[in-house]
Amino acid sequence: MPKIVIAIDGYSSCGKSTTAKAVAARMGYGYIDTGAMYRAVSLYFIRERISLSNQREVLAALDAIHITFNHNKRTGRNETCLNGLNVEEEIRKMYISNIVSEVSAIPEVRWAMVAQQQKMGRRRGVVMDGRDIGTKVFPDAEVKVFMTADTYTRARRRQEELLEKGEMVNLDEIIQNLEKRDKIDTTRTESPLVQAPDAELLDTSHMTIEEQVDWVIERADRRLAEIHRLSGSQTKKA
Ligand code: DC
């Protein structure tokens, strides 16, 4: 059975990771949360007091950063590790959300992360979520989804997520952060967030997670059947 790449891009807090994770589990594919990688870089920059405008410092820091995902059997989740240390909880905090868009707009940071992401997905059989997967990391992804949802819905989801982790943040602060990140993500020079021409739009404002997952799986199944049919007709011709 051939394996494909499923690229899920879109705005922050539309349910990309939850959907991508569930799709990966149902298909027996790997899941790569590329936002977590930019968050881990941001954490390193904060801890090491790297000046974002100092290219030499940024490049040296990137050389010293090693990001991996470890499967936690107890939680069943893939957890982000920065130089061998589990930083999964830390990178989800608000102080990281407040600088991650600036960090991910630095071209050198993007080049380093994109190269690692392409390596991680080179055998295919992955679901990757982010902002530039269908446009830059895997422009040849077999399934491309562009997710969106209205700002209020996204902010409420983000607030619940933070609350579950014990961080109480008011809705206005979250809305401001989302709007600021949307602006930076969509207007940066290096691979801004845009819908790839061949990506299908998925508005999750009024959808449940199950519906979102089914929607993506339906497209993946359709694509796999098409690939299967094409490879069958090629074998017959040969
Ligand atoms: O998906 P997230 O909210 O964890 O992503 C954090 C930030 O990282 C987001 O503001 C934009 C950036 N990002 C990016 O620029 N490219 C990606 N492929 C993934 C995330």
Quote the percentage of the chain above a pLDDT of 90. 88
pLDDT for 60-91, tens place per residue? 999 999 999 998 888 778 899 999 999 999 99
Residues near ligand 1 (Cβ within 6 A): 12, 34-35, 38-39, 100-101, 104, 130-132, 181, 185
Q: How far is the CA of 131 from the centre of ligand 1 (A)?
A: 6
| pLDDT exceeds cutoff 90 at 116 | yes
> What rounded mean pLDDT belongs to the chain?
95
- Is it the case that residue 46 has pLDDT exceeding 80? yes
Distance from the CA of 81 to the center of ligand 1, in angstroms?
A: 17
Give the 3-state secondary structure of residue 36: helix
Return phi, psi of residue 163, to 5°: -60, -40
CB 105 within 8 A of CB 55: no
Which tokens belong to 196? 């790839």
Mode of pairing for the β-strands spanning 126-130 and 30-33 = parallel
Q: Give me the domains of the chain, ranges plus CATH numbers.
A: 5-237 (3.40.50.300)
**Predicted TM-score of the model (pTM):** 0.93
- Long-range pairs for 106-110: beta carbons < 8 A, 24 or more residues apart: 106/52, 106/58, 106/190, 107/189, 107/190, 108/55, 108/58, 108/59, 108/62, 109/38, 109/41, 109/58, 109/62, 110/190, 110/191
Give the pairing type, strands 67-72 and 77-82.
antiparallel
